[in-house]
Amino acid sequence: MKSRSAPPVKASRRRRKPRRRAVSARPETPSKRNTHRRSVEIIEAAAQVFAERGYHGATTQDIADILHIRQASLYYYVPSKEAALELVCIQGVAGFFETAQAIASGPGKARERLAGLIRAHMVPILDRGNFVRVFLTQRQFLPNRSRRRVGKWSRGLEKIFETVIRDGMRKGEFRGDLDPRLTTLAILGLANGVSSWYGKEDASMERIGSEFVSLVLDGLGRRR
């Protein structure tokens, strides 16, 4: 008994009518990089359904439905559902990692770099939200090997934040009594949380980024 939100239309809701021998489902595709393009589409569809229903709640049929192909056809491009999850998770965390590294090791005071990190953290949430949500909430369901692989990226990102915070403490830009580890987790928690409600609130990413930066740097209190 799956908890889809739709009314219970028995079956046959999926299992589309046997199309008459698929008259070239995508007539516009020309080249031979076709296979690659399809793979990308499949991973994007997977990101969408994994984000919406969770890994275990999603079926490969759901993914196929988005692309209007048969469930079995997915296996021409992707070896397994788990493999699709891994690809989605990696693309989810990669978006954060690269820019973050550039910002942290770039110029500027620690305050500015931390502000940059927070703002940059909003970007993947905005334009690869499905991938990010899956990375954040579904990576626990990866098989051990790939979970560890993804975990490394994740810890790397934490280290980037933590390093900037330590740097700021050393240089006297930040309070000296911070716990850099807890502060990192706090900031990431706050920033990652955005992915769970962005779109339901009417605030632009820029607004959110600015608000969060000022909250982290200065807190709620008035200037003293």
Partner DNA sequence: TGCCTTGTCTATAGGCTTATAGATGAAATC
Partner DNA sequence: GATTTCATCTATAAGCCTATAGACAAGGCA
Give the nearest distance from C-beta 34 to a copy of itself in angstroms.
29
Nearest residue (CB) to DNA, 27 versus 172:
27
Contact region with a copy of itself (CB under 8 A), list: 9-17, 19-27, 124-132, 141-149:
141-149
As a whole number of angstroms, the distance between CA 60 and CA 71 comes to 6
9 binds a copy of itself (CB under 8 A): no
Instruction: Using CB under 8 A, count the residues that bind a copy of itself.
Output: 59
From residue 156, alpha-carbon distances to 51, 57, 99, 151 in Å are 23, 29, 13, 8
1 binds a copy of itself (CB under 8 A): yes
Q: What are phi and psi of 138, to 5 degrees?
A: -115, -5
Contact region with a copy of itself (CB under 8 A), list: 17-25, 28-36, 67-75, 202-210:
202-210
Q: At what angle do helices 144-170 and 110-127 cross, to 10 degrees?
A: 150
From residue 132, alpha-carbon distances to 48, 114, 152, 196 in Å are 10, 20, 16, 10
DSSP bridge pairs for 198: 201
As a whole number of angstroms, the distance between CA 76 and CA 217 comes to 50
123 binds a copy of itself (CB under 8 A): no
195 close to 125: Cβ distance less than 8 angstroms: yes
Of the candidate residues 165, 167, 199, 205, the single one contacting a copy of itself (CB under 8 A): 165
181 binds a copy of itself (CB under 8 A): yes
**x/- track of binding to a copy of itself for residues 99-118 (CB under 8 A):** ------------x--x----
91 close to 39: Cβ distance less than 8 angstroms: no
Residues found near a copy of itself in the complex (CB under 8 A): 1, 3, 5, 53-57, 80-82, 111, 114, 137, 140-144, 165, 168, 172-175, 178-179, 181-183, 185-194, 196-197, 201, 203, 207-208, 211-212, 214-224
